[in-house]
Amino acid sequence: MMRLRLPKKIARLGAGVALGILITLPAAAERIRVAVPSLPPSWGNPYMADGTPSSYMWMSMFDGLTRLSSEGEIIPALATSWEHFEPLRWRFTLRQDTRFSNGEPFNAEAVAATLRWLKSPEGRITVIGTRVKNFAKIEVENEHSIIITTTEPDSTLEKRMTAVPIVAPRAWATLGPNEFGRQPAGTGSFAISEWNEQTRRALLKANAYSWRKPKVDELEFIELAETASRVQALISGDADLAKSGVDEMDLLTARGIKSVIHPSMQVMAIAFRTERPEQNAPLKDKRVRQALNYAVNKQQLADILLRGYAKPAGQPASTTTYGYDPDVHPYPYDPAKARALLAEAGYPNGFAMTMEVVIDTLPADAQIFQAMAYDLRQVGVKATVRATPFPTFLRNYLSNIWTSDAFGLSWSAAPFNDAIRPMENFSCLKRNPFYCDKDMVPLLKAASEKPEPERSEILKKLAQEFHDRAPSLYLIEQVDFMAHRPELSNVRLANRVPEYDVITVDRSQRK
């Protein structure tokens, strides 16, 4: 038996006093281990990507002025209130009860520093820099109020600010973007404690300054690229919470693991590249793009591969996203019509095409891509699907330097659950666009500028236009599956990511 040796001086004080000393020893830190497909390529620099998988970690470390609730509504974050008091001007009233994790004060100057950097030449080329491209002026009204003036009316600014993480200004200015990625400082529930590039792990500790203090002491993120590896980690007890999939639900349930299923605010799709030098590329013809949509049995994908949790899709928004139009229906499965359209476009024998996709980021994605390619082959389209690492995909997406004809890209309304976000990505408004219909730009701009109810009607028109012009092969409305051990309670998703600060742990429930 191992004995605890006390210094002689303490031992002489007597057993009662010694016991008092022993019971004041600090308790072991309570840690939640989270298995994710990958850690952020830019580590703690939150401006180089948008959405999952990077947001699994970043949303525990950073906040925007607003955020998305688990019900999909815009709610306060670093801003407690906001008002659109003039056509081009917004006022955000800021939270007064927080600091950055390195102790820097959070105030209007900090917000202004972030926004001004994102507007700089260096900031504008980042993914998040596009969120502030229409900012004309950023004014510090007082310590806890900031005014943003836009170049044109923007009726969705409070929504867009969910996607702009605010960073500690002195740390950012001193370290620069790359080194800040190693020593990040935000206002989130947790702050980085240790990176381990060899084991692909990141340890975060509770941020004592945060306005949303967590119920546990630590978060550990573990990179496990394959779903099977994450599932095994849950079953063995090496992970507490993990991104999972529909195929694993029965196994997980049998082992006492619980599942959380939530709409993902995105339409799974294959994006068509039409902005390319080849004049005779088949995908430049709308009839070809429509044919590919008729060729795939989307109902079967939803019913069989996703067990009915998903729905066939045919427009930029899912049913839970603002801007969804119930009168715009998915393309029906009609191989005969697909062949007729291909023949009309000059491809009676079909053609060959390549697609780049990232695997294991959406439920059953590998099987969905395989089934899709099979259906396309039945109408003569020889589709080759190539798996691409996420960092490579991200680089290609930002610069439009694809070597393929198409690529996997969801119409994702995250992080603010509004259809205008994916619509802009599939348009001339995207930096280095892969698809561009110039005559749609005025309508897209109006959808951001006009107030309600006019804006709602514009989004309906856009939903129909994007359906008819078919810039993508629409597949299904995706869902998010997260699984967790029974020791965890209050596990819910907001903006596709667990709300880590509300999760509690009871290790007595361990099986």
Average pLDDT rounded to a whole number, residues 135-146? 97
Q: For the domain 28-62+188-257+485-511, what is the CATH code?
A: 3.40.190.10
pLDDT in tens, 321-376: 999 999 999 999 999 999 999 999 999 999 999 999 999 888 899 999 999 999 99
Specify the higher pLDDT residue, 423 or 2.
423
Band of the pLDDT at 3, cuts 50, 70, 90?
Answer: very low
Q: Mean of the pLDDT values across residues 29-35?
A: 95
Q: Is the pLDDT of residue 294 over 50?
A: yes
- CATH 3.10.105.10 spans which residues of the chain? 265-479
Sign, Cα dihedral of 387, 390, 395, 397: positive
In the chain, which residues fall in CATH 3.90.76.10?
A: 63-169
pLDDT of residue 28: 66
Q: Decide: 168 and 110 in contact? Cβ < 8 Å.
A: yes
Predicted confidence at residue 27, as pLDDT, reads 56
What pLDDT, on a 0 to 100 scale, did the predictor assign at position 18?
33
Q: Which residues of 336-350 are buried (b: 16+ CB within 10 A; e: fewer)?
A: ebbbbbbeebebeeb
Q: Could you tell me which residue, 468 or 431, shows the higher pLDDT? A: 468
Confidence label for 131 from pLDDT (cuts 50, 70 and 90) = confident
For Cα atoms 206, 208, 211, give the angle at the middle one, nearest 5 degrees: 100
Q: Which of 7-11, 379-383, 458-462, 472-476 has the lowest mean pLDDT?
A: 7-11
Residues 200-223 pLDDT 10s: 999 999 999 999 999 999 999 999
Query: Which whole number is the average pLDDT over 375-397?
Result: 94
pLDDT computed for residue 510 by the predictor: 66
Pairwise CA distance, residues 173 & 197, whole Å: 25
Percent of the chain with pLDDT over 70: 94
* pLDDT at position 50: 84
Which homologous superfamily is 63-169 in? Dipeptide-binding Protein; Domain 1 (3.90.76.10)
Separation CA 235–CA 255 (nearest Å)? 7
Q: Which residue's entry shows tokens 């069989």?
A: 304
**Strand 241-243 versus strand 31-36 pairing type:** parallel
| Mean pLDDT of the 421-447 span | 95
Q: Is the pLDDT of residue 15 over 60?
A: no
pLDDT at 24: 41
Token pair belonging to 224:
């496990």
The reported pLDDT for the residue numbered 39 is 94
Task: State the pLDDT at residue 431.
Answer: 87
pLDDT at res. 12: 36
Indicate the CATH number of 265-479 among 1.10.600.10, 3.10.105.10, 3.40.50.360, 3.10.129.10. Answer: 3.10.105.10
Predicted confidence (pLDDT) per residue in 75-125, tens digit: 999 999 999 999 999 999 999 989 999 999 999 999 999 999 999 999 999
Give the confidence band of 19 by pLDDT, cuts at 50, 70, 90: very low
pLDDT of residue 508: 78
Query: Nearest CA to 390 among 100, 23, 39, 98?
Result: 39
Q: With bands split at pLDDT 50, 70 and 90, how would you rate the model's confidence at 511?
A: low
**Could you tell me where in the chain the CATH 3.40.190.10 domains are found?**
28-62+188-257+485-511
